[in-house]
Amino acid sequence: MNAASFADPIGRVGFNIADKFVAVFASPGSLMSLWSLLLALAIAAAYTGRNRWRTRRRVSWKVIRRALFPRALCKSASSRVDVWFLLLNTGCTTLLFGWAMVSMHFFSNAAIDGLATAFGAMPATSLSVFWSSIILTIVVFLAYDLGYWFDHYTSHAIPFFWEFHKVHHTAELLSPLTNARLHPFDTVKFANILALFMGIGEGIVHYLLGNSPQEFKFFDQNAIFLAFMYLLVHLQHTHLWIAFTGFWGHVIVSPAHH
């Protein structure tokens, strides 16, 4: 093998890794996009400033900056480990474990075929495409939430899965980057469970409505999930005590609860 033939596949791998990093940090629909991180930062700053103002304490950018980026967090070994896990799960894990992922559409088609075989074809619904898409968007998001719960429950309840998931719980200090502190096996398990739950949810809706609606998406993400991601996901891993009370405290996992 000459140098050129060896360098070509190496170059393609390098390009794929670089492309993945760009997609993760620059795409507005990515979980770790700079846009969603900046919005989380703005929400945290507003929350901190509001709390200080309500208690008649001094509010300034310097005070807010210190509250959001305390020295202990910025200099901690735990935060540095979060960065390394982010790099690992963005680059190497994607390339090495892509073959282990089953697509959501595979499970969706399997659900449609299974229901049609068991109960026969359903007549097309009289609902408009708009309302059918609304229903699908809601169902897929609820399926995501159920899949998330199931993945988390099994990760804690089953000793074999806990051995991988406990990596996430080794963080000594929380920050949005702790989202990426995952064992590669945990990442693969989570992705496949989401594909299963969301695919079955999508398949059931398509079967029942019979008109193959499409989710409302922004930046290739379910619209409800995208709003959830931008407004809450990053703040669930934070050192700030942000608590939900009343009805919402029973529905949404707040940063304080986590």
The DSSP result for 41-54, as a single string, is HHHHHHHHHHHHHH
Burial class of residue 75, CB neighbours in 10 A (0-12, 13-18, 19+): exposed
Percent of the chain with pLDDT over 70: 88
Q: Cβ atoms within 10 A of the Cβ of 173, count?
A: 17
Burial class of residue 243, CB neighbours in 10 A (0-12, 13-18, 19+): exposed
- Both structure tokens of 48: 């901190």
Angstrom distance (rounded) from CA 238 to CA 221: 24
pLDDT tens digits, 125-144: 778 888 999 999 999 999 99
Averaged pLDDT score across all residues of the chain: 84
Angstrom distance (rounded) from CA 228 to CA 29: 12
**7 pLDDT more than 60:** no
- Both structure tokens of 60: 């300034």
Maximum average pLDDT range among 17-26, 86-95, 144-153: 144-153
Of the given ranges (15-19, 106-110, 153-157), which has the lowest mean pLDDT? Answer: 15-19
- Both structure tokens of 190: 């989570």
Q: What is the DSSP letter of 166?
A: T
Maximum average pLDDT range among 15-24, 88-97, 163-172, 205-214: 163-172
Angstrom distance (rounded) from CA 140 to CA 227: 14
Q: What is the CA radius of gyration of the chain?
A: 21
Angstrom distance (rounded) from CA 148 to CA 237: 16
Residue 217: which H helix or E strand, with range? strand 217-218
Maximum average pLDDT range among 28-37, 63-72, 80-89, 141-150: 141-150
Interval 69-79 mean pLDDT:
87
Of the given ranges (32-41, 66-75, 115-124, 245-254), which has the lowest mean pLDDT? Answer: 245-254
Q: Cβ atoms within 10 A of the Cβ of 129, count?
A: 13
The gap between the terminal CA atoms of the chain, to the nearest Å, is: 53
CA dihedral 109, 215, 144, 126 (to 10 degrees): -70
pTM of structure:
0.84
Q: Which residue has the tokens 């159920």?
A: 146
Angstrom distance (rounded) from CA 31 to CA 193: 17
Angstrom distance (rounded) from CA 217 to CA 181: 27
Angstrom distance (rounded) from CA 149 to CA 153: 6
